[in-house]
Amino acid sequence: MVRPSGGSARVFELPADVPASSVEIRRRTGFVSEDKDLIDYMTVAEIVRFTSAFYPRWRRDLEQTYLRRFELPPDRKVKLLSRGTRTKLALLLALCRGAELLVLDEPTSGLDPAMIEGVLQALVAHAAGEGTTVFFSSHQIAEVDQIADRVAIIERGRTLVAGALDDLRERYRRVQLVFDGAAPAAPFRAPGVVRVRRQGRVLTVLSSDGAERVLDEARALAPVATDVAPMSLKDIFLETVAAEE
């Protein structure tokens, strides 16, 4: 849909910016846009029939399953669907293609909590059952934390953090050092230090490589107390973006 301004990408070992391979990539990929672009003048049944014609591996069984589970009215025009129902229809059209890769742009935006849960459950079940790779973007950290295996945090076109979510949770640590007097303005040379923050008597060190080496370096500063805490994905996001700025 857009041409790259730089860099390169390959999907299914095919260059993503070559028109000929782009068609093959799209044949094996399902995409849901942020605005849930669909063909408004068609009914639910018509758009399902229209879309299925382009995918030889269209899954009729999944189509029936999701029509029932998402309670999609077959004879209703797409333009008359509510936002939540429209999202579910867009997901159905992506999930039933027999795609090896799903690319979802803010799949739960505008949905109420119950619908969000339903959509996330459907995605997890589909990925697990069909072996599909799901690539989704979201500003809802809690959702990403809930279902993602691997994450990347992108700020202004640059990847700040990338890796398996469990690995990130293991490696990122917040180390708080409390001092008698004002916290010293000490630079930390330990590898993996992302950010150091001084607030009065407290020195907080964010590390992406565990706490051991930070603690080793901190002993020389003689803090009266230390605390090492794990970080949630939200914390990692906020701290790395703040450090970037």
Partner 1 sequence: MLWRKAWVETRWRALIGLGILLCAAGAMVLVYPQVMRLVPSVPPDDGSTITRQIREAAALMRDYRGYVFAQWFRQSLPQLWTIMAALLGSGGLLTQGTALFTLSLPVSREQLSRVRAIVGLGELLALAIVPTLLVPLLSPAVGESYPLGDALLHALCVFVAGTVFFSVAFLLSTAFADVWRPLLLTLAVAVALVSVEQLLRTRAVHGIFGVMSGDSYFRTGRLPWLGLSASALVSLVLLWIGTVSIARRDF
Instruction: List contacts with partner 1 (CB under 8 A).
Output: 1-3, 19, 22-24, 26-27, 29, 31, 33, 35, 37-41, 50-51, 53-55
Minimum CB distance to partner 1, residue 37 (Å): 4
Q: Residue 46 or residue 235: which is nearer to partner 1 going by CB?
A: 46
Q: How far is CA 15 from the centre of its chain?
A: 23
Q: Residue 104 or residue 206: which is nearer to partner 1 going by CB?
A: 104
How far is it, in rounded angstroms, from Cα 147 to Cα 166? 11
Both tokens of 42, joined, read 């068609």
Minimum CB distance to partner 1, residue 33 (Å): 4
Minimum CB distance to partner 1, residue 39 (Å): 5
- Count the Cβ atoms, other than its own, within 10 Å of residue 66: 22
Backbone angles phi, psi at 39, to 5 degrees: -95, 100
Q: Residue 53 or residue 128: which is nearer to partner 1 going by CB?
A: 53
| Closest CA relative to residue 28, chosen from 51, 52, 12, 48 | 12
How far is it, in rounded angstroms, from Cα 157 to Cα 6? 11
Terminal Cα-to-Cα distance of the chain (whole angstroms)? 30
User: Can you say whether residue 240 is alpha, beta or left, with left for phi > 0 and alpha for psi between -120 and 50 degrees?
Assistant: alpha
| Closest CA relative to residue 54, chosen from 88, 99, 13 | 99
Minimum CB distance to partner 1, residue 50 (Å): 5
Minimum CB distance to partner 1, residue 71 (Å): 22
**Residues forming beta bridges with residue 158, ordered by sequence position:** 155
Minimum CB distance to partner 1, residue 62 (Å): 18
How far is it, in rounded angstroms, from Cα 51 to Cα 39? 10
How far is it, in rounded angstroms, from Cα 219 to Cα 132? 48
Q: Residue 47 or residue 233: which is nearer to partner 1 going by CB?
A: 47
